[in-house]
Structures are given as C-alpha cells and as structure tokens.
Amino acid sequence: MLLKAAFYANNLRIISIECCYIKHCLNEKQKIKFIANQN
C-alpha cells in the first residue's frame, strides 16, 4: 500500500515537471513569435 502511494507520488511529480517544461517551451515559442512580429 505504502509502496503504491510512493509510486503514484513519484508519477505525479514527473507529470508536474513535464507540465512545467511544456509550459516553459510554449512561453519561449510565444516570446520568439512576439519578437518576430516586432521586427
């Protein structure tokens, strides 16, 4: 039971890291697009 809980907690942490990374990538793309539009 405890092992399963630890496994789920680890998966959630990995998922949240991936979400942060994806959001960061999207923000970077939007910045690039914004800079491109400025020129």
Q: What pLDDT digit, counting tens, does each position of 15-32 carry?
A: 888 877 788 778 888 888
3-state secondary structure string across 12-39:
HHHHHHHHHHHHHHHHHHHHHHHHHHHC
Can you give the pLDDT at residue 1?
64
Torsion of CA 16, 19, 24, 25, to 10 degrees: 140
The pair of structure tokens assigned to 10 is 């680890």
Q: What is the mean pLDDT of the chain?
A: 81
Flag whether pLDDT at 39 surpasses 70.
no
How many Å apart are CA 23 and CA 6, to the nearest integer?
26
Which residue type, as a one-letter code, is found at position 14? I
